[in-house]
Structure 1
C-alpha cells in the first residue's frame, strides 16, 4: 500500500511540474503586465521568471526526469504482483511473467501520461496566467533548493546555445499581425464588440493607406479665380457651401491663397458685391505630398493646426485637397454617418455599383478579397482596371479577379466614373482576365 501511495505522490508532483512548465511558458506578457499593474505580485514574479527562464527550465527537466525514472522503478515493483495475480486467473504458462511485466508497464505508463502529463498540460494551456501565478512561488523555492544541479545543467545549455549562436532569452516583440490576431480572437469570442473591432481595424489601416484614398481629387476641387466676379463667387458658394476655398490665378496649379467663405458672406450681408481682396487671403498654405500615409498626415495636421491641406505630387502639381474631417472619416469608417453620395451602392446580393475613385482597401474589406495584384501600383478601383488592362478602359471593358467581375459602365473621357462589381456564380481562382469592349 505504501508503494501505491508513493506512485500517487510521484504522479502528483509530475502533474505539478508539467503544469508549471506549460503555464509559465504559455503565459502572455501583455496580460501578466496588466495583472502586475493591478498589484498582483505573483504575476510580476512570473514576468521576472520569463525574462531569465534558464534556471527554471533546468530545474523542471531535472525534476521531471527524476520522477519518470522513479515512477518506472517503483511502478513496476508495485504493480507486477497485482498483474501477476490477474494473469494467473486466465493463464499460467511460461509467458505469464512477461505478460505481467508488460501489463504493469502499460498501467504505470498510462497513469503517468494521463494524470501527470495530458490533463495538467491541458489545464495549464486553458488558463496559463492563472496557473503560473499560483505555482511560481513554489517553483522558485525548488529552483533555489536545486541550485547546484540547476547551475551545472544551465551552464552547459548556455554554452551549447553560444556555440550555435542562438539567442539566450525569448524576445517578445508584439507585431501588427499579433494584435490583429488578438482582435480577431476577441471579436470571435465576443469580448470585443463589433464597433470596437472596426475602430481598431481602421487604426491599423491608417498606416497602410495613402492620402489619395481620402482626399478630394483634383477634378472635384472648387476654387475661386482671382478675377472671378461677384456673380460667379456667389454661385460657387451657393452650389458648394464649403468653409474654405482656394484662390488661384488662372489655373489650379497657380494657387495664391485661400479665403474663408464667411468673409464673402460678410460682404454680401453688408450689401456689398462679393469680391476678393488681398487682405482677405490666407497666403500661408499647408501642403502635403501625396505619398504620405493617413497616419503621417494626421501627425502633420497636429503640428500645422490648419483646417485643410493641399496635396501635391512630385512635380508640384495639385492633385487634391484633404481636410482633417476627411482623415477622421477614414479613421471612423462605418461608425459615423457621412452625408453625401456613397462610393459603394449594393444593387443586390451579388452586385455593387462602385465609384471609380473608391480606395481598393475599402473594396477588399467589403468583398473579403485578400489581395489585389501589385496593389502598390494604384490606390483606387479605376487604377486597378487601368493597371491590369495596361490602357485606358472603355465602356463594358472588364477584369475578372478572385471570383469577381469588375466592369466599367460609365467612362467620361479618360475618367472611369463608375464600375459594376459582380460576384460570379461559380467562384474562380485568383486569376485575371480582361475583355476589350467596343
Structure 2
C-alpha cells in the first residue's frame, strides 16, 4: 500500500471515528426538556433521540466498537507508512540502528495525535456547543450503524451486565430534577442575560412556598382590626375610613371568638344605598377558613383552592388567633413590590449600600433576600427578624442590643412593650473601616 493510499484509509477512519465521537457526546448531552418540546411539536427525530437516551446501552456499545476499531485499524495502516517516511527522512542526515526506533516513535506519536485531535477531541467539542441540534442531525445514520453492530453490541452488553451484577453496581439512571438543578439553570440563565434578576427572584419565591410557613406572611394578631356583631355604625364607618383593609373579621367579644368576616365592599354598598350598618348578620358575614400556624404557604394555597375562600384565620396549638392571611398575602410573598401597594410602609429600607433599617416583623426570608444571605442559624425556631434577635440574644431585647452574624451587625433601634419595632443592620467590614483608633499618650 502506497503512502497516499495509507493516508486515504487513515482519513476515512478518522472521519468515521469523529462521527461516532460527535454522536456520542451529542446524544448524551442533549437536554430532555428541549427534546420533549420538539417531540411534542411533531419532530420525529427528537423522539428517536429520547428513545436512544432511555435505552443507551446498545448505542454506547456500538459507539465504542467503532471508535476503538477505527483507532486500531488507523494505527495498523498508517504507522508503517509514517515509519518508512520518517526513516527515509532521518537517513538523509544520520546513520545508525537507532533510526528505526526513532522512526517508529515519531510515527506512533503522529498517528496518535491525529486520531486524538480529529477523531475525538474536536468532534466532542463541537458536540458540546449545540448537543440538541447535532443529535437531531446524526440520529438517523447513527441508528443504522447501531443496527449493523447489534450482534456484537449484544455480546458486549451481556458481559458488562454480568460484571455489574457481580459487583452489585446499580446501572439505573435517576432523572429526578431537584431545586438545586433548577437553581443552577436559573443562575446560568441570569449570567447569560436570558433571565432577568426580578424573574429569577419570582421563581425562587415560588419554590420557597414549600418551606415558608403561614406566620411568615400573615398579618399578626396585634394588627388585626375586627368588628363585633353589635358594632355601632359610627365605629364601623370610622374603621372603614381609617384602615385600608378589604376584609374585616367579625368576632363575638374577643378576637379568639371569630364568627366570620365581612367584605369592605359589601359595607360600602350598604352605605351608598343609605342602609344601616349596625346589626351585622348572616347576609353580610361570610364564613372564614381556620388553619393551624404550622401549615406551609403551599399547603394553604391548596386549602384556598379546595374551599374557594381567600381569607384564613391562623390559630396556634392553644386555639388562640395569632393572625390572618389572605390569598393576596401569598401573592405578595411571590411578587414582592409588584403587588404591594406603594403607600404601604416598607419593612426593609436600604439606607445605602452597607446599611438597612428593618422592621422586627419582617419575615426572615425577606431579610435574607435583601442582605443576600444563604441561611440563618436554626431557622426553624423563628419566623421573623425579631424572633431571630430574641433567639440569638437569649433575653428580652433592649435598645442598643446587637448580634453579629456573617459579616453583619444587627442592632436593636426601637422596642415597644418588649416588641422589637426596628433594627439597624450594618456590614461589619464598613464598621471596621470607619473605626478611629486614638493615639496613645503617656
Q: Normalized against structure 2, the TM-score is what? A: 0.91
Query: CA contact under 8 A between 1:195 and 1:335: conserved in structure 2?
Result: no
Report the equivalent of 1:52.
Answer: 55
The alignment partner of 2:295 has SS state of coil
The alignment partner of 2:415 has SS state of strand
Q: Please, which moves more after superposition, 95-104 or 260-269?
A: 260-269
In structure 1, C-alpha distance between the alignment counterparts of 2:41 and 2:431, rounded to whole Å: 51
Query: CA contact under 8 A between 1:257 and 1:281: conserved in structure 2?
Result: no
Q: 1:50 to 1:215 in 2, by over 3 A?
A: same
Q: 1:59 to 1:218 in 2, by over 3 A?
A: same
Deviation digits for residues 141-161 of structure 1, max 9, x if unmatched?
Answer: 112112221111111112222
Q: Please, which moves more after superposition, 288-297 or 95-104?
A: 288-297
Q: 1:269 to 1:128 in 2, by over 3 A?
A: closer
Q: 1:86 to 1:122 in 2, by over 3 A?
A: same
The alignment partner of 2:253 has SS state of coil
Q: How does 1:165-180 map to 2 (within 5 A)?
A: 165-180=168-183
Task: Give the CA deviation at 1:281.
Answer: 5.2
Report the equivalent of 1:432.
Answer: none
Query: CA contact under 8 A between 1:264 and 1:275: conserved in structure 2?
Result: no
In structure 2, C-alpha distance between the alignment counterparts of 1:2 and 1:263, rounded to whole Å: 93
CA RMSD of aligned residues (A): 2.1
Report the equivalent of 1:35.
Answer: 38
Query: CA contact under 8 A between 1:402 and 1:427: conserved in structure 2?
Result: no
The alignment partner of 2:25 has SS state of helix
Task: Give the CA deviation at 1:59.
Answer: 0.8
Query: CA contact under 8 A between 1:259 and 1:280: conserved in structure 2?
Result: no
Report the equivalent of 2:226.
Answer: 223
Aligned length: 428
Q: How does 1:276-315 map to 2 (within 5 A)?
A: 276-280=279-283, 282=285, 284-315=287-318
Report the equivalent of 2:214.
Answer: 211
In structure 1, C-alpha distance between the alignment counterparts of 2:127 and 2:350, rounded to whole Å: 48
Deviation digits for residues 309-339 of structure 1, max 9, x if unmatched?
Answer: 1111122111111111111111212434523
Report the equivalent of 2:385.
Answer: 381
Task: Give the CA deviation at 1:33.
Answer: 0.8
Report the equivalent of 2:411.
Answer: 407
In structure 1, C-alpha distance between the alignment counterparts of 2:386 and 2:240, rounded to whole Å: 30
Gaps of 5+ in 2: 433-442
Query: CA contact under 8 A between 2:26 and 2:134: conserved in structure 1?
Result: yes
Q: Normalized against structure 1, the TM-score is what? A: 0.92
In structure 2, C-alpha distance between the alignment counterparts of 1:82 and 1:94, rounded to whole Å: 16
The equivalent position to 1:109 in structure 2, one of 101, 107, 112, is: 112
The alignment partner of 1:419 has SS state of strand
Report the equivalent of 2:86.
Answer: 83
Query: CA contact under 8 A between 2:24 and 2:60: conserved in structure 1?
Result: yes
Report the equivalent of 1:434.
Answer: none
Query: CA contact under 8 A between 1:36 and 1:43: conserved in structure 2?
Result: yes
